[in-house]
Amino acid sequence: MRVVSVAEMREIERRAEAEYGLTSPMLMERAGQSVAEILRSHAGGDVRDLDVLILVGPGNNGGDGRVMGRYLTEWGARVTSFVWKENILERAGQTIPAGDQLAALPEALGSVDIVVDAFLGTGHARPLAPSMRQALALTQTERERRLGSLIVLAVDLPSGLDADTGAVDDGSIAADLTVTLAFPKIGLYLFPGAALVGEVEVGSIGLPEEMPVPPGMEVIDAPVVRHALPARPLESNKGTFGKAMILAGSPQYVGAAYLAASAAGRIGAGLITIATTRDLVPVYASSVVEATYCLLPPLDAKPQERARVLLDALRGYRALVVGPGLGQSDAIRDFLLRVFDGVRALPDSERPRLLVDADGLNNLARVERWHERLPAGTVLTPHPGEMARLRGGAQVSGGGVDRLAVATECARAWGHVVVLKGACTLVAAPDGALRLNWPGNPALATAGTGDVLAGTIGGLLAQGMAPFEAASAGVYLHSRAGLLVSARLGDAGLLASDLLPELPLALRATKDA
């Protein structure tokens, strides 16, 4: 699903009029109707029992709100409009002065079921007017008085939210539902604004289906993932779905290899091999009974000997996942660099797709021009701290607007696919393609979930998916598995291993969507 900036949305609207004759009033009519239809759908198809208050702003967003109110009235809802520019209330054809202090608004709020925030939309980055802030503050006070039973619907975006950056005005309030028009706006997914949007639905403004929209940033959704997933033909064997090698785990972090290997199997890879030392095999064999093993020389063996054993075992593997729980030391770094050099030197037809995560990244970050040691198109999965180390100490946020440029520029400069983890995980390709995952899920903020993500993407790489598509699908399916768990448990208490049995269910739901 395409995500647009303010400039891109303005260009789309300009083209709609210039190329298809769709004037601004025509787009506004369809927008207001669409928001009303979505509200009616959320109300079970009937709005006759609803009391709705619409906060009408001075521009196109306010016009959308007026059209919405007209449709709701025609369908039997009781609609009151607070018209900010005139400082009046309109109800059932009557006009009521609101007074300098919005004196009539508290009484109107006390009897409504839904407040529609149609003050300011995408085209307004200016601060909220004081009286707008006051009206929104009164709405929030009433919502708190009713313990959240008063519903707030935002038209296009919550007023005061910057559509490009996610910055918010101090007077902005959270919506329960945001109906964004034509396309989602970038700022809806960036913090702090993302915390205010609630559920997001996309409404129509009547753009023709045949109207082309240039490629750009996307939200990863079920159609994007479903179309990229590999087929599962009836005439198959384990070789059909590829082999994945997992180079992970250490005596201090034995669970990392278990989580990554199990995830690769749960997402459909045909065979999983854990590369580890002989002393750790009994630990893994008791929990990942389906795995096979590449027995590496002990940790104190020469790095070149350890690398040779792994590289010799890689023949026939489509994916190599490196890093979770390996630890950091000069010897491990030397070993990993020899592995990466060896993989890069393989012929294209014999080279497995490579994913580097966690300690694989931390070890690389201490090497000059580290990205040149990896085969082109490697998938990198850093969290913000790891990304800062890879960039030489430059910090990156977990959900702010800076992430967009960081992910895009680093993917292009390094020549690799970057999965920048965080509250809104980004997937960036060297050619400039950028996708984001939504919604965020605080339940996933627990140790080991990144190991599961690495294994999930690795399992998709083993099945033959291209790196950018595998990364996008892995992020999406990992996120959906998390939503399945948190729907039962809430936003605390999820363990990384809880995701494993949910991955096939998320995969099936995506295929059926």
pLDDT at 87: 86
Q: What is the distance between the alpha carbons of residues 78 and 72, in angstroms, rounded to a whole number?
A: 8
pLDDT in tens, 180-209: 999 999 999 999 999 999 999 999 999 999
Give the rounded distance of the alpha carbon of 352 from its chain centre.
27
Q: What is the distance between the alpha carbons of residues 162 and 135, in angstroms, rounded to a whole number?
A: 19
How many other β-carbons are positioned within 10 Å of the β-carbon of residue 44? 8
Tell me the average pLDDT across 42-69: 96
Q: Taking 80 as the threshold, does the pLDDT of residue 431 lie above it?
A: yes
Q: Which CATH class is domain 237-389+400-512?
A: alpha beta
Give the rounded distance of the alpha carbon of 41 from its chain centre.
25
Q: What is the distance between the alpha carbons of residues 384 and 209, in angstroms, rounded to a whole number?
A: 39
3-state helix, strand, coil in the chain (%, to 5): 45, 15, 40
Q: Which DSSP letter does residue 86 get?
A: T
Q: What is the distance between the alpha carbons of residues 113 and 149, in angstroms, rounded to a whole number?
A: 8
Question: What's the pTM?
Answer: 0.95
Q: What is the distance between the alpha carbons of residues 444 and 422, in angstroms, rounded to a whole number?
A: 10
pLDDT at 94: 82
The DSSP bridge pattern shows strands 78-83 and 151-155 to be unpaired
How many other β-carbons are positioned within 10 Å of the β-carbon of residue 290? 9
Of 193, 183, 163, the closest CA to residue 31 belongs to 183
Of 320, 1, 312, the closest CA to residue 184 belongs to 1
Q: Taking 80 as the threshold, does the pLDDT of residue 98 lie above it?
A: no
pLDDT at 100: 64
Q: What is the distance between the alpha carbons of residues 432 and 409, in angstroms, rounded to a whole number?
A: 8
6-214 shares its CATH topology with 237-389+400-512:
no
The DSSP bridge pattern shows strands 94-97 and 114-118 to be unpaired
pLDDT at 101: 58
CB neighbour list of residue 288: distance below 8 Å, 6 or more residues apart: 258, 261, 262, 265, 272, 274
Regarding predicted confidence, which is higher, 126 or 273?
273
CATH for the stretch 6-214: 3.40.50.10260
Q: Which DSSP letter does residue 4 get?
A: B
pLDDT in tens, 295-330: 999 999 999 999 999 999 999 999 999 999 999 999
Preceding peptide of 25 cis, ω within 30°: no
Q: What is the distance between the alpha carbons of residues 177 and 165, in angstroms, rounded to a whole number?
A: 20
In the chain, where the domains are located: 6-214, 237-389+400-512
pLDDT at 124: 73
Q: What is the distance between the alpha carbons of residues 124 and 127, in angstroms, rounded to a whole number?
A: 8
Tell me the average pLDDT across 103-108: 88
Q: What is the distance between the alpha carbons of residues 236 and 451, in angstroms, rounded to a whole number?
A: 28
pLDDT at 103: 83
Mean pLDDT score across all residues of the chain: 96
pLDDT at 79: 97
pLDDT in tens, 114-159: 999 999 999 776 789 999 999 999 999 999 999 989 999 999 999 9
Q: Taking 90 as the threshold, does the pLDDT of residue 92 lie above it?
A: no
Q: What is the distance between the alpha carbons of residues 112 and 153, in angstroms, rounded to a whole number?
A: 13
Report phi then psi at 378, rounded to 5: -60, 145
3-state secondary structure of 258: helix
Q: Is 263 exposed, middle or buried (0-12, 13-18, 19+ CB in 10 A)?
A: buried
Q: Taking 90 as the threshold, does the pLDDT of residue 410 lie above it?
A: yes
